[in-house]
Every structure is written in C-alpha cells, then in structure tokens.
Amino acid sequence: MPPQEVRVPVFLTGLVTRLDGFDFCMDGATYGLRTHQGPARLKPTNEETQGFLERVANTRLRVTVAGYPSWGAECNYVSVYYAAPSEETVKSLGISL
C-alpha cells in the first residue's frame, strides 16, 4: 500500500494578481501571488477567501495566505483557506512591527 500524502500547510506573503484569460494549467487557480521566492498560483477554497483575494487583486497591499500545496495536471498551486493583510497577520501572532 502506498504511503498516504501528508498535507502540511504553507504560508506565503506577497502581492495578489488576478489570473485572467487563457490558462494552460487547467487547475482552476484564479489568482497569483508575487513572492520573493517567485510566483505562486492560488485557488481559494471558501467564499470569504475568494472575496478577499478579489478585493485586493492588482493592488499594492502585501497579503499573507495559508493553504495546502497541490499538484495539478500541468502546474502547482496552493489551495488557500486563509488570506489577510500581512500587517494584520503579523499582529495576530503577537509580533510588533
């Protein structure tokens, strides 16, 4: 029996972009995140996250997302279950800026 996949959440910070137009990835990702490590594809998993990403897409607001890495047929993406302004996320962790 093959080992079961262990799902470990990841946290990324960057600027959200809307993925519009033709997309060869066929993974259902609707947003991108420009990070220091490179671009990431985002697929929101709930309405709250979807609404937040839509509001901040293509703005200069730095955002933190949490989700599970997923592998599509052609591209990797993150199934996002949490997204918020990075400043709020840092403060919620008890870290002062």
Using one digit for the tens of pLDDT, what is the confidence trace for 58-76?
Answer: 999 999 999 999 988 889 9
Q: Which domains does the chain have, with CATH numbers?
A: 10-92 (2.40.50.140)
The region, left, alpha or beta by phi > 0 then psi within -120 to 50, assigned to residue 38 is left
- When computed from its CA atoms, the radius of gyration of the chain, rounded to whole angstroms, is 14
Question: Phi and psi for 28 in degrees, rounded to 5?
Answer: 85, 0
CA–CA dist 60, 51 (Å, integer): 17
pTM reported for the whole predicted model: 0.86
Length of the chain: 97
pLDDT in tens, 21-43: 777 888 889 999 999 999 999 99
Question: Phi and psi for 92 in degrees, rounded to 5?
Answer: -65, -20
Share of the chain above pLDDT 90, in %: 66
